[in-house]
Amino acid sequence: MTSEAFLALDWGTTNLRAWVVDAEGRPTAHKEFALGVSRLAPGEAAVRFREEVRPALGAEGLPALITGMAGSNIGWLEVPYADCPADAEALSRGVAAVPGETPYVGIVPGLRGPGVYGPDVMRGEETQLIGWLAQDPARRRGPQVICHPGTHAKWVLAVDGRIERFVTAMTGELFALLTQHSVLKGGEGDVDGPAFDDGVEAAGDGAALAARLFTARSRIVGGGGLKAAEVRAYLSGLLIGADVASTPPLLQAPTGAPVSIVGDSKLCRQYQRALTHRGIDARVHDGEGAVLSGLVALFHAVTRQDPHR
């Protein structure tokens, strides 16, 4: 296998993270840029990449591999979704070379699965999942249930190193909408406060969520003992509690299987708290390290397929 240094990028909606990775797969430089695709005009991504990102990292002569929303219909180049089941080799076959870019620039495809009531999709999280699986050979044996919390939380079943199926829950976006645009807007307080656990308990089995959500108001105005400053924590616990109770069964994973939570540490700890409340073993793993491991694994897979690119 030919190994070489390359430029690895996680190019999201609001932010861009970039690393120079040496031939051994180790990061030697890292920078972040406020160049998320939602901030850029059509055609601007290529220019900013060449004129800002490459020079900032001294990477003008390196091949590059990009994951995230750069491959979406609002990004640099729209790359079709790959289909489940998928491992690193299958996903790498869907990597698209950006026309006219020298040295090589490839963009990782998102992933599409059967979903629950129609197709489900992810873009960016697939690289993190591949990276997490690549970090330990034991993770590529048998079934693994993985949760990536976020605006659109992903629940994933991987079997023998392949992403078999996944389900998306709009948990983070619901929290933002409710606290900014509903009768609950204006609440203050830490989302990690003691009322979080009350919210997890109130979530029950996750059914009738719309009815359970109203308790975030009725417990204040109806004498339920909830204070205005505790609403954010309570609501966070209720939404995450409903998510961990009702979404994992949709994966058809083994009942009571442990859950590996990969992503932002603070949000991961909240999911761990809710899962532990339900008696499920849950462990938190670094999301940034998993993304970088995924980019390394995919770049090596692309290199094996086409050493000359």
- pLDDT, one tens digit per residue, over 212-230 is 999 999 998 998 889 988 9
In a domain, 223, yes or no: yes
Model confidence pLDDT, tens digit, residues 168-202: 999 999 999 999 999 988 666 788 889 999 999 99
Q: Percent of the chain beyond pLDDT 70?
A: 97
In a domain, 308, yes or no: no
244 membership: H or E segment, kind and range: helix 231-246
CA 104 – CA 97 distance, rounded (Å):
7
In a domain, 50, yes or no: no
Structural contact between residues 261 and 128, judged by C-beta atoms closer than 8 angstroms:
no
In 10 A of CB 302, how many CB atoms? 24
In a domain, 157, yes or no: no
Amino acid at 213: L
pLDDT of residue 2: 47
CA 281 – CA 108 distance, rounded (Å):
32
* 273 pLDDT tier (thresholds 50, 70, 90): very high
Mean pLDDT of 220-249: 93
> Helices (H) and strands (E) in the chain — how many of each?
11, 14
Structural contact between residues 10 and 295, judged by C-beta atoms closer than 8 angstroms:
yes
CA 297 – CA 165 distance, rounded (Å):
20
Q: Give the number of residues written for the chain.
A: 309
* 274 pLDDT tier (thresholds 50, 70, 90): very high
Tokens of 90: 């299958």
Tokens 């606290």 belong to which residue?
A: 179
In a domain, 241, yes or no: yes
Is the pLDDT assigned to residue 115 strictly greater than 80?
yes
In a domain, 108, yes or no: no
Task: Output the domain CATH number for residue 207.
Answer: 3.30.420.310
> Over the chain, what is the mean pLDDT?
94
Is the pLDDT assigned to residue 1 strictly greater than 50?
no
Amino acid at 43: G
pLDDT of residue 307: 75
pTM score > 0.75 for this model? Answer: yes
127 membership: H or E segment, kind and range: helix 125-134
Nearest to 213 by CA among 233, 239, 193: 239
In a domain, 47, yes or no: no
Q: Percent of the chain beyond pLDDT 90?
A: 88
In a domain, 94, yes or no: no
The domain total for the chain is 1
pLDDT of residue 187: 65
> In which domain, by residue range, is 226 found?
168-286
